Chain A
Amino acid sequence: DQQVKQNSPSLSVQEGRISILNCDYTNSMFDYFLWYKKYPAEGPTFLISISSIKDKNEDGRFTVFLNKSAKHLSLHIVPSQPGDSAVYFCAASEYNFNKFYFGSGTKLNVKP
């Protein structure tokens, strides 16, 4: 059974608006969370991360929010740009950081 779940396979957003991608997890031992972006025919690339001791982390247009009680994290992209169109994966790890469990991905389409 998947420990990290992304229940929305796809999301379409207008350029300039906010994109919100969601991720849920079941393992309460997860200590560290990440988002990756993937373009077709390429490997995933690291986007942003957050430790369980924080509830928010920002990097430019990208902000990750963590709600530990709900076992939920989200990625906000503001403003969205057509170049953001890609598949986004969330991932999580326990304290040893040796294993990272990935969600199934959400395909974001940002319309010009």
Chain B
Amino acid sequence: NAGVTQTPKFRVLKTGQSMTLLCAQDMNHEYMYWYRQDPGMGLRLIHYSVGEGTTAKGEVPDGYNVSRLKKQNFLLGLESAAPSQTSVYFCASSDGTPPGKLFFGSGTQLSVL
């Protein structure tokens, strides 16, 4: 049972480069989320989706874009990477039952030089 799969697991970018992080879930969940984890900051919500074709901003959305064209996939894009975007990125999904029971992927370590 795959659950939530994130690709890639590691990536190094140069400032100004672009990339897309892919999140795929096989649990037929409606809700999907992108978080970033930074030392001393915990997990901060970047964007989320409450269903196919919908997206919404979280706490720290600047510099990121997202798309949810298919229910099982949630893409996170960095158009012009900056060193401040060096972080560990986690994708999560949920069916809302119970509220807050999120299933997380194993994370993507991104370094922007």
Interfacial residues, chain A to chain B (CB-CB below 8 A): 2, 4, 6, 9, 32, 34, 36, 41-46, 49, 89, 91, 93, 97-105
Q: Give chain A residues whose Cβ lies under 8 Å from the Cβ of B102.
A: 36, 44, 46, 100
Interfacial residues, chain B to chain A (CB-CB below 8 A): 4, 31, 33, 35, 40-45, 48, 50, 56, 58-59, 90, 92, 96, 98-107
Q: Give chain A residues whose Cβ lies under 8 Å from the Cβ of B90.
A: 43-44
Q: How far is the CA of A52 from the CA of B35 in the complex (A)?
A: 24
A-B interface contact total, Cβ < 8 Å: 66
Q: Give chain B residues whose Cβ lies under 8 Å from the Cβ of A105.
A: 42
With A43-B4, A98-B50, A99-B58 as contacts: A49 and B101 at CB distance below 8 Å = yes
A93 touches B99 (CB 8 A): yes
A49 touches B98 (CB 8 A): yes
Q: Give chain A residues whose Cβ lies under 8 Å from the Cβ of B103.
A: 46
With A32-B100, A97-B96, A97-B99 as contacts: A42 and B45 at CB distance below 8 Å = no
A34 touches B106 (CB 8 A): no
A-B contact pairs, 8 of them (CB 8 A): A2-B41, A34-B100, A36-B102, A44-B43, A49-B100, A99-B58, A101-B59, A102-B44
Q: A97 CB to closest chain B CB, in angstroms? A: 4
Q: A21 CB to closest chain B CB, in angstroms? A: 14
Q: Give chain B residues whose Cβ lies under 8 Å from the Cβ of A91.
A: 43, 100
B106 touches A97 (CB 8 A): no
Name A95's closest neighbour in chain B (CB-CB): B99
